[in-house]
């Protein structure tokens, strides 16, 4: 979608707050939007908000359980939180 492309462009160009707001807007409308979940999780991980990243990647792994990178990113976020058993 056009709004996701815009958010991705802002993300890539360092307009982090604007990209974050836009990803959240997409997810408010469609909480299972896999590309937005992935991008938002990546953004949150880069910002150091590993809790928000874990939530996004957990949702993504539930929506697309076959997507290996969702599980990989979820594991990385949980590890960053010290939640090794999870």
**Is it the case that residue 26 has pLDDT exceeding 80?**
yes
Question: Whole-number mean pLDDT of the chain?
Answer: 94
Give the Å distances, CA to CA, from 85 to 12, 62, 75, 78. Answer: 33, 19, 10, 9
**Is it the case that residue 29 has pLDDT exceeding 80?**
yes
What pTM was estimated for this model as a whole? 0.91
**Is it the case that residue 86 has pLDDT exceeding 80?**
no
Instruction: Identify the band that residue 20 occupies on the pLDDT scale cut at 50, 70 and 90.
Output: very high
């Amino acid at each position: 979608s056009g709004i996701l492309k815009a958010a991705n462009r802002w993300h890539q160009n360092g307009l982090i707050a604007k990209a974050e707001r836009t990803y959240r807007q997409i997810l408010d409308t469609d909480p299972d939007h896999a590309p937005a979940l992935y991008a938002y999780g990546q953004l949150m991980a880069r910002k150091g908000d590993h809790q928000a990243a874990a939530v996004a990647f957990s949702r993504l792994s539930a929506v697309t359980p076959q997507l290996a990178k969702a599980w990989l990113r979820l594991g990385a976020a949980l590890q960053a939180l010290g939640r090794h058993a999870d």
